[in-house]
Amino acid sequence: MKSVSELKVKIFGDGADLAGILELHRLPYIKGFTTNPTLMRKAGVADYEEFAAEVLKHIKHLPISFEVFADDEETMEAQAKHIAGWAKNVYVKIPVTNTKREPMYRLIRRLSHEGIHVNVTAMMTLEQVREVGKALRGGAPSNASVFAGRVADTGRDPVPMMKEALEILRDTPEAELIWASPRELLNIFQADEIGCHIITVTNDILAKLKLVGKDLSDFSLDTVQIFHNDAAKAGYSLDVAAAARGAKSSKS
C-alpha cells in the first residue's frame, strides 16, 4: 500500500472552518483548498468577503476556490470577476448549470478565455464533462470538479466514470480533473490509482490518514477494546444469574 508521500494525486482541503484550514495548511501533502456556500453556512460564516479576506491572509501561494452564488449568467459573471480579483491564487467556482438547469458553458468559456482561473463545479454526467472540456480548451489553467461521492450516493460506481472523464479531458490540458465530495479515505487511493489530478477532502476524512497501513489484526483488537470500554463506561449490566434461574425453572 502506498504511503501518503507516494501519492501522485494532489490532496486539496475542503471546508470553511478557518482553524481547520490553517491546520491543514501546515501539512506538506495539502496542495490547495476549496470551499462553497454550503460549507460556509455550516461553519457559521456570516460575511463572505470578510471570511475570504481572512483566509487569503494565510493561503497566499496554494490554489483556493471560492464560489459564485448568483443564479443568472450576468450576475454570475460579475461575481466571478470580483472574486478573481481577490488574489492571484484564487480559482472561481462556477456551477455547471443554474437552478433552472440552464448550462453555464458560454460563461465558463468566456471567463476562462479572459484569463480567469475557473473551477467548474457540481458536475455529475460525462456529457457535462465533454461540454465543459470544450469550453475550457485553450483558456486559463482550470479545474473540472466531478462530484464522485454524490454519484456513489446513487448506487453507481464512480470509478469508471472518473476514468472516462480523464480520457475526455485529455484534449483539454488546461483543465485538471477533481474527484469531489469523497465519502471515505479509500477514495484518495482510488483517485490516485486512475491518475486523477486532484481530490478534495474534508478534515474528518483526512484525520483517518493515520490509519493507512495499520495492521488489521491490531485494528480488530482496538475495535474490541472500544466496544468493551464503552459498555463499561455506560454501566451496562445483565442479570445472567437470574436468566439462568429462569431457564432452569422453566425446564422443571
Tracing cell 455529475 back to the chain, one arrives at 124
Amino acid at residue number 20:
G
Q: 97: how many CB neighbours lie within 10 A of its CB?
A: 14
- All three cell numbers of 162, joined, read 472518473
- All three cell numbers of 137, joined, read 480548451
Q: Please give the full DSSP string across 122-167, using - where no structure is assigned.
A: EE-SHHHHHHHHHHHTTSSSEEEEE-HHHHHHTT--HHHHHHHHHH
**Residues recorded for the chain:** 252
Q: What span, in angstroms and rounded, lies between the C-alpha atoms of 148 and 235?
A: 42
Q: What are the Cα distances from residue 209, in Å, to 27, 29, 41, 62, 233? A: 12, 11, 27, 21, 28
Task: Give 53's contacts (C-beta < 8 A, 6+ positions apart).
Answer: 86
Q: What span, in angstroms and rounded, lies between the C-alpha atoms of 247 and 228?
A: 27
Provide the annotated active-site residues: 93
CB 154 within 8 A of CB 124: no
